[in-house]
Amino acid sequence: MAASIKEIKQNIIKIQGLIKQAQNPVQKKTFSEILKNLQGQLEEALKKQKSTQKTSQKLEIQKIVKSIEPEPKSTTESLLAAKSKSKLLPETTQKLEPKPTPAISTSPLSEPPNTPPIQAESEPLPEPQNTPVIQPKQEQKTLVESTSLLSESESIAKDKSEPKTSNKIFQGLGIIEGKIVKRFEDNDKYYNVVVGDKIYKLIINKKRVLDFVKATYNPDQTQQLLVYPNLVHYPQPKEGTLPPKISFTLVAGIQESRYELKVNEFKLCGIYQQIGVYRGAVISVHRNKTNTLKKIVRKFEQRTKNILRANHIPILWKDSPVKPFRFNPRLDKDQQGDRYFVEIKARFLPDREQWGFMELLGEPTLEFPNFMKAPKPDGTKSKSDNKEKVEKMNQELDTKQ
């Protein structure tokens, strides 16, 4: 408790200095709100410290009272005392026969009831409830917790108005370790993350997370970050392979993960398939359907395509229990293969711009969680039109031959 109070005081001093150095009213207002929050947290921490001290004093008093009370005699001592007081029985010539030992019942009633094993509760990845930024050795709310950000999947758990049809959700959440640096020297709104010798764009959607990154900015500090990946695929050249562009959306900075994930480990839940702009298999993570997302789409209709864009995460998965779905334009819809929803743990491989399969977290299923898909723009040809186009091209090739 003392260590956390000390850290809160240090944060207060730091924020006070930032308020003095604020370059505009917006920054000053932001830091003032953070300072007010810190002061409230300090009061709560002091109250908890007092209650802890009272509890420890009660325990000390109980120990003293217990030490004053006389200890009860042991069982051996009481038996010896009883033996010395009892009279010896006269000897008899009657032979004593041992009493028969009753048979021990082996019926199910004599067995102790089966107690189900206690299992640790696992959080869904929404993943992930609120994922706070946690400072070391600190359990109560602090400045860092005030900058928590719900991930795309965590918002599902918060949206109680949406009817539950399945406990499965689309999810792409993991932990990376790196240094947060400014993308431009004279701009504190845009940042990158340096992971080893790779530099990735760091996307920050929430203002409170951005404010925290500004307030605690240290380009020399390596830290663990809770993120979900964002990928942009490009058409592949005839020769060679063009890797996708990878960036990460910051959910929170963490000291100890509350998820069963280590650095570079991700939980990926989506459709296992192949897409036209990538030669390998991917796990497609769509946007979960919630009332909150519906409101966002209605508010920003012009950005609907970007908001509802799926992330196609490249996956290396040998000996997978199901095959990735691949669309064949020559076949009808009912002749296409099956699309499977999979849940796996995978390791991020920066050198290969891919994720490698680690373990299966659930059985593949043909049932999908509810999700929202970006509408096709006007003038987009349907699959049947594409099929006719392919058949026409094949006929032209046969004619030429």
| 279-326 confidence digits (pLDDT tens) | 899 999 999 998 888 888 888 888 888 889 899 999 999 999 999 999
Q: What is the mean pLDDT of the chain?
A: 75
pLDDT of res. 380 = 53
pLDDT of res. 350 = 93
Above 80 in pLDDT, residue 199?
A: yes
Q: Of the spans 50-54, 113-117, 200-204, 212-216, which averages the highest pLDDT?
A: 200-204
Categorize the per-residue pLDDT at 360 as very low, low, confident or very high, splitting at 50, 70 and 90: very high
Same domain, 29 and 152: no
Above 90 in pLDDT, residue 97?
A: no
pLDDT of res. 91 = 45
Same domain, 334 and 196: yes
Above 70 in pLDDT, residue 126?
A: no
The residues, ordered by sequence, that sit 6+ positions from 399 with a Cβ below 8 Å of its Cβ are none
Above 70 in pLDDT, residue 195?
A: yes
Categorize the per-residue pLDDT at 39 as very low, low, confident or very high, splitting at 50, 70 and 90: confident
Between CA 42 and CA 9 the distance in angstroms is 8
Same domain, 42 and 164: no
Same domain, 343 and 201: yes
pLDDT of res. 160 = 44
Same domain, 339 and 205: yes
Same domain, 202 and 340: yes
Mean pLDDT of 34-59: 81
Which of the pair, 57 or 255, is modelled with greater confidence?
Answer: 57
Same domain, 200 and 346: yes
pLDDT of res. 132 = 40
Token pair belonging to 58:
């009660």
Categorize the per-residue pLDDT at 7 as very low, low, confident or very high, splitting at 50, 70 and 90: confident
Mean pLDDT of 226-240: 90
Q: For residue 255, give the amino acid letter.
A: Q
pLDDT of res. 255 = 64
Above 80 in pLDDT, residue 146?
A: no
Q: 78 in a domain, yes or no?
A: no
Sign of the dihedral defined by the CA atoms of residues 254, 258, 263, 266, in that order: negative
Categorize the per-residue pLDDT at 240 as very low, low, confident or very high, splitting at 50, 70 and 90: confident
Same domain, 246 and 380: yes
Same domain, 156 and 45: no
Same domain, 37 and 164: no
Q: 263 in a domain, yes or no?
A: yes
Domain that holds residue 177: 145-387
Which of the pair, 127 or 249, is modelled with greater confidence?
Answer: 249
Q: 72 in a domain, yes or no?
A: no
Percent pLDDT > 90 in the chain is: 33
Which of the pair, 28 or 134, is modelled with greater confidence?
Answer: 28
Categorize the per-residue pLDDT at 383 as very low, low, confident or very high, splitting at 50, 70 and 90: low
Q: 361 in a domain, yes or no?
A: yes
Q: 332 in a domain, yes or no?
A: yes
What's the structural domain count of the chain?
2
Above 60 in pLDDT, residue 37?
A: yes
Mean pLDDT of 369-374: 88
CB atoms within 10 A of CB 78: 11
pLDDT of res. 113 = 43
pLDDT of res. 109 = 36
Which of these three, 50, 69, 88, is where a domain ends?
Answer: 50
- 39-48, 90-99, 218-227, 280-289: range with lowest mean pLDDT: 90-99
Q: 286 in a domain, yes or no?
A: yes
Q: 76 in a domain, yes or no?
A: no
Q: 103 in a domain, yes or no?
A: no
Above 60 in pLDDT, residue 144?
A: no
Above 80 in pLDDT, residue 200?
A: yes
Which of these three, 50, 68, 86, is where a domain ends?
Answer: 50
pLDDT of res. 137 = 39
pLDDT of res. 81 = 54
Above 50 in pLDDT, residue 127?
A: no
